[in-house]
Amino acid sequence: VNSNVYITGKMTAGLWFEDIWLGGELFVAKYDSTGGLLWAKPIDGSTMTVSSIATDSEENCYVVGWFSSLLISDTIEIWSENFLSRLFIIKYNKDGETVWINSFLNRNISFKENYRIKPAGISINEKYKHIYITGMDYYDEDGNRDSKLFIAKCSLEGGDLLSFTTIAKSNAYPRSRYRNYGYGIVNDSSSVYICGSMKKSEGKCNFYIAKLDTNLNIIWEKQPVESELASIAYDIALDDENNAYITGYYSDSITIGMKSFTSLGEQDLFIAKYSGEGEFIWAKSAGSAIAGYKGYDFGYSLSFDNYNSIYLSGYVGEDAIFSPETQTQYEGPFLAKLNKFGDYEFVNSYFTGYNSVYEWGAGRVACSPDGSLYFTTNIQDSISLGVPFYKQGLESGGFELYPNPANEVVNFRYNPNQTITSARIINLSGQTVYESKDIKTNQLNIGFLKSGIYLVELEFSDKSRAIQKFIVKKK
């Protein structure tokens, strides 16, 4: 919005944003068009994940995710009843202040211990003042494990749940990678488009794309004609003619519309184009022929510039083939540009040291109205993009804390070959509230602490340090 950039994600034991230290579980940050940090805020609590972020024309941003214990943003604190996995939405104004937080389960069911809801994508409709969210709604208990793709419609002012619908063709195990799950969602003010995965009645799980009206009634839905194993669509985007594009991956072979593909390796990526009426237009495939996990390829993110050029990102194995003339070298996240006919204009892949066949190692792409292109990814060690070099610095681990949340005492579990030489407790403002260099037991008395979230930093005999977070919850 106005060439500003918004990002959100997960962190472990804190993160530096320039000179701002965040000590939370999740983060939200805003940058200007030159990469200057405008603000960065933590979202804290316990057992939580952030899924997606969206903005409106007034530079407000909306973050969606799930939590199953405690969630804190600024001074607003909410708890999940019975430790159920709940969907949350947080609205921030242009200056990064929390405007409101809302959370819900599917209001059409009673509270059940093993019910979960996990969102993935979010889209804003300012015309009707709606927020659309998609993800997975599921049960996970013996004898009753099932997943459904869900679409929720919420109020733009307050996040109240207005409508909730689920889609499923067949039962699908929720812990499997192949389940009924909505990943991407977008709208053109009058219609909502979603993509994800859907298990067919004959037992195969394949990508799913659908168009719905603003009351969440299905107008049309599509799945591939045939896929020998499985396929997933991770993202969906619209061009200025309201054609819909999806990207994801397939295993073995697949037929999309009139195009049939056979994967070069374990799985290949695809991008497909449909008209606003659901008619297939074209599809492309790309992938690496390397055997094993180094041959896993998938498309993960789509965006358009002002000229209807398509930008595609995701993850590829070594020596991935996009066309007879276009081949990448490195295993890692990639960035590609295509025209509206599906012809590649450039493709680059980047080595990051992050070997991942899942979404964590993928690249994400976004275009702004001023023509700027933004690309983000995770790195394990380092990355070179032809711009200033960045290297991952913060590590955590080395010990476990329990119980968590705690009340009077917190215990340590760590490598028995190590000895703790010092310990300190830090609050989320960065203040040291306890420090000791005389640690004789594997526990700390924390009865003096107020309810809240804290960090414990331990120093060991080999001079290494590790940080973990814990929650103090007074009865």
Structure confidence by residue, pLDDT tens digits, 422-465: 999 988 767 889 999 988 888 899 999 998 888 888 888 877 77
Where is pLDDT greater, at 188 or 177?
188
Indicate the residue among 391, 422, 437 that finishes a domain. Answer: 391
Whether residue 219 sits in one domain with residue 118: yes
Please check whether residue 181 is in contact with residue 135, taking contact to mean a CB–CB distance below 8 angstroms. yes
| Mean pLDDT for the chain overall | 86
pLDDT at position 311 over 70: yes
Q: Is residue 62 located within the same domain as residue 192?
A: yes
Of the residues 391, 420, 452, the one at which a domain ends: 391
Are 382 and 434 in the same domain?
no
Are 366 and 423 part of one and the same domain? no
Task: Judge if 375 and 435 occupy the same domain.
Answer: no
380 with 430, same domain: the answer is: no
Q: Which residues form the domain of 95?
A: 5-391
pLDDT for the residue numbered 392:
36
Instruction: Return the pLDDT at 419.
Output: 86
Least confident stretch, 123-132, 134-143, 404-413: 134-143
> What is the domain-level CATH number for residue 176?
2.130.10.10
Residues 291 and 372 grouped into a single domain: yes
Domain count, the chain: 2
Phi, psi of 396, rounded to the nearest 5 degrees? -145, 170
8-state DSSP, 64: E
Closest CA to 44 of 12, 20, 17: 12
Examine the domain organization and report whether 127 and 236 are in the same domain: yes
The model's pTM is: 0.81
Q: What pLDDT was estimated at residue 43?
A: 93
- 224-262 pLDDT, tens digit per residue, is 976 667 899 999 999 999 999 999 999 888 999 989 999
Grade residue 397 by pLDDT with cuts at 50, 70 and 90: very low
> Of 391, 408, 431, which closes a domain?
391
* pLDDT score at 83: 67
Rounded Cα distance between 306 and 311, Å, is 12
Write the CATH number for 408: 2.60.40.3080
Residue 334, beta-bridge partner list: 314, 349
Contact 206, 229 (CB under 8 A): no
Give the confidence band of 139 by pLDDT, cuts at 50, 70, 90. confident
Confidence (pLDDT) at 143:
61
From 126, 134, 103, select the one nearest 216 (Cα to Cα): 134
pLDDT at 398: 65
Instruction: Verify that 133 and 189 share a domain, yes or no.
Output: yes
What is the reported pLDDT for 416?
A: 75
- Burial of 379-406, coded b for 16+ CB within 10 Å and e otherwise, reads beeebeeeeeeeeeeeebebbebeebeb
pLDDT at 228: 63
- Name residue, tokens 């214990």: 69
Residues in the chain: 475
Same domain, 260 and 136: yes
Q: Is residue 368 domain-shared with residue 415, that is, in the same domain?
A: no
The answer on 411 and 294 residing in a single domain is no
